[in-house]
């Protein structure tokens, strides 16, 4: 797993630009835990309240799991996970190599063992979407929270 770092690149998925942190993880099940811990550690360090932190970690887990289960890796064999704390939200992005179908939320049958991931994301997040850029697909989501302030990175 690559170490989290901050950059000033904003993919334009949300209306509030800001520095982004990222980790690059292998296209493997163990990466869900690694990405989840990287995000949680930064949110704790920035004093993000537990309810918002829990929601963000759940959304990230669902999106990384979906990327591993349903999509190809990036040409490097990895998945890129990025996030940015903004004034009143946490913006998440998971980028993979894409799949034959575009991610979309659906309502799973009560007896189904899976298929609820994007429905969970849709329920928790104020907005979410999918962008495509060449051989990469990014699923992004915004988790809103009360009074979230951008961390001071100066």
Q: Which residue has the higher pLDDT, 2 or 47?
A: 47
Question: Among candidates 106, 125, 103, 124, which has minimal Cα distance to 115?
Answer: 106
Q: What is the pLDDT of residues 12-68, one digit of tens each?
A: 444 444 689 999 999 999 999 999 999 999 999 999 999 999 999 999 999 999 999
- Dihedral-angle region of residue 47 (phi above 0 means left; psi in -120 to 50 means alpha; beta otherwise): left
Its pTM stands at 0.77
Instruction: Report d(CA 49, CA 13) in Å as an integer.
Output: 24
CA dihedral 114, 82, 91, 53 (to 10 degrees): 70
pLDDT level of residue 150 (50, 70, 90 thresholds) = very low
20-144 folds as: Heat Shock Protein 90 (3.30.565)
Report how far residue 152's alpha carbon sits from residue 21's, in angstroms, rounded to the nearest whole number.
Answer: 13
Give the mean pLDDT of 98-120.
58
Q: What is the DSSP string of 19-53?
A: -EEEEEEESSTHHHHHHHHHHHHHHHHTT--HHHH
Q: Kind and range of the H or E element at 89?
A: strand 89-96
Bigger pLDDT: 61 or 87?
61
């Amino acid at each position: 797993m690559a170490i989290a770092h901050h950059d000033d690149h904003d993919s334009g998925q949300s209306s509030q630009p800001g520095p982004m942190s990222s980790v690059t993880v292998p296209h493997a099940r163990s990466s869900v835990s690694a990405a989840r811990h990287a995000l949680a550690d930064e949110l704790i360090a920035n004093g993000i309240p537990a309810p918002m932190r829990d929601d963000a970690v759940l959304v990230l887990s669902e999106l990384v799991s979906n990327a591993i289960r349903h999509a190809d890796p990036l040409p490097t064999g990895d998945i890129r996970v990025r996030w940015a704390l903004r004034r009143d939200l946490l913006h998440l992005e998971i980028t993979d190599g894409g799949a034959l179908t575009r991610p979309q939320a659906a309502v799973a049958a009560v007896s189904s063992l899976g298929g609820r991931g994007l429905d969970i994301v849709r329920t928790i997040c104020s907005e979410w979407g999918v962008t495509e850029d060449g051989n990469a697909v990014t699923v992004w989501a915004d988790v809103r929270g009360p009074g979230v302030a951008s961390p001071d990175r100066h």
